[in-house]
Chain A
Amino acid sequence: MTEIIKRDYSLLGTSGKMAVETGLAAAEWYHTDVARKDMKALMQRSDAPAIRDTILWLGSMVLFGGLGIYFWGSWICIPFFLAYGVLYGSASDSRWHECGHGTAFKTRWMNDAVYQIACFMIMRNPVTWRWSHARHHTDTVIVGRDPEIAVMRPPDLFRVILNFFGILDAWHAVIDMLRNAAGVISAAEKTFIPEMEQPKAIRIARIWLAIYVVTIAAAIAMGSILPLVLIGLPRLYGAWHHVLTGLLQHGGLADNVIDHRLNSRSVMMNPVSRFIYWNMNYHVEHHMFPMVPYHALPRLHAMIKHDLPAANPSMWSGYREMIPAFLRQLRNEEYFLKRELPATARPYREEFHGGALAEAAQ
């Protein structure tokens, strides 16, 4: 009989130590075979798609924000701010992510500039989260190692619902910003941010704090909440789309495995969501080959789909399997959805995942 060990998601806890001892941490992950020539072609950088998308993104924000300001005081401003909010509080998530990988643009400074802007909007310290995300890719959904597990087991569904409005994320982000601005790097942050990088995290936190102080001062001076509706609050009222799409990335799937086909989910999405999400709906593909730019992910998907579980045909389909899995994990945290492979795929490595697969959902 398998002994059930309670998961400890702390980066300083027992599960993380166990992952290091058992070789789950920093392991060699499964990769679908792709010819070097093809992978080189997929990894090639280009500025054009990201320049186009960035002009569209920031241009739309100026347009919707401008119309929202113009109609401020009337109900007509609401749809414009709702659109502005999604571009601020959700599209920034994918821009932060893709530019953090350094793959969105070919030109380095363009990646860095959009990365800084997006990090501010999504309220993620650009230094802390660069390192946190590197760890997420090294140890994807390895309990106690991955700092970016969105839904832990058993799931805290109240927390998930609150995050559709950015409430807990923004709260923690503000606390982290204030702590970093005071010159304090937490013990957990120290586990993945090298010492030489820590002063940069503190400097950024102080700059952001100054921006928020000026924004709040402007709101007080104007006697209006409008400055905060434009800066800061969209992280709350525009967060829902990045949570809606982001939960699908790993929700309800296996943990403590070293095959992204088991712990990640690709989902076909509508063009608007794919623009906001910058093609991260191809999430298995992204984790398997993180240096493939977002605009090449559909080509990568076509090339390797024979070796991957079938992508969910829609977000609805993803939620239809994920929510029941979350509910079942409330009673049994060992439960997860096993992704079935097509006949053309190389099988999961039983030597690594035999135990996990045996416990998977039937």
Chain B
Amino acid sequence: MSNNWIEVCAADAIDEEDVIRFDHDGRTFAVYRSPEDDYFATDGLCTHEKIHLANGLVMDNIIECPKHNGRFDYRTGEAKGAPVCVNLKTYPVKVEDGTVFIAL
């Protein structure tokens, strides 16, 4: 598998248990830093109503949409109940030399 690694930001640009928005090539992503200091990435828009998840709240391993309370496990993209029914697409993430990369 040939991943195209794209630089996102400095690792410390994302607070622990938080998320940022990352736009690239006309697409939008959400990049997360978990309470365990691991990094993850998903599509940036909620599968329910296309709201930017980066404005939502990260609680443990859950991202909650800021509009309708849709919740996903951002590690797997799994939708955790109404009003979201469709899982989020996830992307591989790596941290090298203090920089976060996402594989697209």
Contacts and interface: CB of A to CB of B under 8 A. Distances in A.
B10 interface: no
A341 interface: no
Among B64, B65, B69, B71, the one with the most A-chain Cβ atoms within 10 Å of its Cβ is B69
A131 B49 contact: no
B104 interface: no
A103 B59 CA distance: 12
A289 B64 CA distance: 13
Contact of A138 (B18, B49, B59, B66): B49
Among A45, A138, A289, the one with the most B-chain Cβ atoms within 10 Å of its Cβ is A138
Interface in B2-61: 18, 48-50, 55-57, 59
B83 interface: yes
Nearest to A291: B66
Contact of A289 (B48, B66, B71): B66
B103 interface: no
A223 interface: no
Contacts of A26: 49-50
Q: Is the interface of B mostly helix, strand, loop or mixed?
A: loop
Contacts of A35: none
A165 B60 CA distance: 44
Given A40-B18, A102-B71, 8 more contacts: A40-B57, A45-B57, A45-B59, A194-B85, A196-B85, A197-B85, A290-B69, A291-B56
| Contact-residue bracket for chain A | 20 to 34
B47 to A, nearest CB: 12
Contact of B67 (A43, A103, A137): A137
B68 A290 contact: yes
A40 B82 CA distance: 22
Among B55, B68, B71, the one with the most A-chain Cβ atoms within 10 Å of its Cβ is B68
Contacts of A289: 66
A134 interface: yes
A291 B49 contact: no
A290 B50 contact: no
Contacts of A194: 85
Contacts of A44: 57
B69 A103 contact: yes
A130 B48 CA distance: 13
A216 B76 CA distance: 48
Interface string A286-312: 000111000000000000000000000
Interface string A87-122: 000000000000001110000000000000000000
A134 B65 CA distance: 12
A197 B85 CA distance: 9
Contacts of B59: 45
B68 A138 contact: yes
A103 B2 CA distance: 42
Contacts of B68: 134, 137-138, 290
Nearest to A138: B49
Interface in B68-90: 68-69, 71, 82-83, 85
Contact of A291 (B50, B64, B82): B64
Interface in A111-164: 127, 130-131, 134, 137-138
Given A130-B82, A134-B83, A290 B57 contact: no
Interface in A23-44: 26, 39-40, 43-44
A335 to B, nearest CB: 30
A45 B71 CA distance: 14
- Shortest 7 CB-CB contacts between residues of A and residues of B: A102-B69, A43-B57, A134-B68, A134-B83, A291-B66, A101-B69, A138-B49
Nearest to A101: B69
Contact of A197 (B50, B66, B82): B82
15 contacts: A26-B49, A26-B50, A40-B18, A102-B71, A130-B82, A131-B82, A131-B83, A134-B48, A137-B68, A138-B49, A138-B67, A196-B85, A197-B85, A291-B64, A291-B66
